[in-house]
Amino acid sequence: MSVHEITLIPGDGTGPELIEATRRVLEQTGVGLRWDEQPAGADVYAEEGTPFPDRTLESIRRTKVGIKGPTTTPVGSGFRSVNVLLRQALDLYACIRPCKAYEGVRTRYPETDIVIVRENTEDLYAGIEFEQGTAENRRLRDFLADVGQPVREDAGISIKPISRFGSERIVQAAFQYAKDNDRGKVTAVHKANIMKFTDGLFLEVSREVARRHPEVEFEDRIVDNLCNQLVSRPEEYDVIVLPNLYGDIVSDLGAGMIGGLGLAPGGNIGTRAAMFEATHGSAPKYKGQNRVNPTALMLSGVLMLRHLGERDPADALERAIAAVIRKGEHVTYDLKPTREDPTAVGTSQFADAVIEEMMSQ
């Protein structure tokens, strides 16, 4: 049996509890896994002055695959997001976020089964910004005034880079995901009616890539229309590919449609490595309470197994998670009819139930 070496990052807040529950269920799939545990997040920042030590990055570069517990990002000050650092350092350009409604979860959209493919490196999230009053800001305002687009003096300015290279590889990733996972349609999302040179380029490239994949249905949607249609007829959508900003927003919309971020897995995939993690944050107020739902991180583990080519064990783990949720007996408080339900179990007990389901398959 082959053994896959995986970088394991516990994270901070509730991350270590979630990663431990996920590690246990992954080990019960029968896949050979060897863990290289490395730190990242607020705890190691307090000890070493960096949230992302060099040894952690080197581990991921060596193993090429990692799974990460949530990490805290300070608001307004402090260190930058560990997730952003990882994406930039490893060029993890494709964020894959399935949004699938499981039976037993309270949702108005039980038919939802979509996959968000979000570009990770460009767009407004590239962080090219100019503060009001700076020389760079003034030069850019002068240029905009010269071309007939005056901007107020008290404005901060952001630049939105979208390249042919970045657009082509993310749209190609969406089509490849559709083919690898027996999905029949890709929808490219944009605002090309307004932003003709950035979103217009994304749409143009999407159509070019689509012509190379005639076996997969293709369509495009303006982003505001997409949001309207997602909550009125989600069954019409399958794989949705978007630039960075729209992808961030729509993936949270998709998570809300399936019951919340606690059920939303994610993978960040590039040419040199892949990192799998839950969509939600670290919930530090629940740290050490054995309370938080581990489903999102466990489903991220399912994505990781599929990425490794271990599809049968991945399917078995997903079936076990779905069975536990459907039965509703051994689930965390957020999956109960009321959050005060005394029969709710903790993070580790949820993992025990998933393992029992796998053993009974």
Which residues carry out catalysis?
125, 191, 224, 248
**Interatomic CA distance for residues 361 and 266, integer angstroms:** 26
Residues 199, 173: Cα–Cα separation, whole Å: 18
* DSSP code per residue over 206-232: HHHHHHT-TTSEEEEEEHHHHHHHHTT
Tokens found for residue 20: 């431990």
Locate all alpha helices (DSSP H) within the chain, ordered by sequence. 15-27, 42-48, 54-63, 82-90, 135-146, 164-180, 199-211, 223-230, 244-257, 295-307, 311-327, 347-360
- Closest by CA position to 328, among listed 274, 259, 280: 259
Q: Which of 161, 168, 81 is nearest to 122 (CA)?
A: 161
| Residue 94 host element (H or E) | strand 94-100
